[in-house]
Each structure stands twice: as structure tokens, then as C-alpha cells.
Amino acid sequence: MSTYKKIEIVGTSSESFAKAVDSGVRHAAKSLRNLDWFEVCEMRGRIVDGKVAEYQVALKLGMRLEE
């Protein structure tokens, strides 16, 4: 059996929602250990001059706690 801690982050990308997820997970993995899963909670973006300028994804990350 495992126990997990959940944290919430926001990943961003100028290209796509998928890349925003990847960016958020990659940045979190630099400072957090035992990342095991993610859940997309929200998708939104920023509009500049009538065009999509940034994709934003709110994520919950699950970290497996060490025994």
C-alpha cells in the first residue's frame, strides 16, 4: 500500500495544452521526488490582440510518500 501527497500547480505553454502539462510536470520534477501521477483540473488561456497567447493548465500532482 502507498500513501500520496497531492499538490496543485499551473503549467503554461505558448504552443498547446499538452505542452503546458508537460512543462508543469517537468518543472515540478526538478524539485519534487516520487511524482507518480497527474490530474488535469482546469484548462484556460490568455488572449492577446484577439489571439491565443498562452495555454494554462491547472494540475494536481501525486507524490508517493517514502516509508
Cα→Cα distances 38→12, 48, 55, Å: 15, 29, 17
CATH number of the domain encompassing residue 18: 3.30.1660.10
- Give dist(CA 62, CA 59) in Å, integer: 10
pLDDT by residue (tens digit) across 12-62? 999 999 999 999 999 999 999 999 999 999 999 999 999 999 999 999 999
- Give dist(CA 34, CA 37) in Å, integer: 9
Number of domains in the chain: 1
pLDDT by residue (tens digit) across 52-61? 999 999 999 9
Residue 35, Cβ density class (10 Å: 0-12 exposed, 13-18 middle, ≥19 buried): middle
Q: Which pLDDT band holds residue 67 (cuts at 50, 70, 90)?
A: confident
The single-letter DSSP state of residue 17 is: H
Enclosing domain of residue 15: 4-64
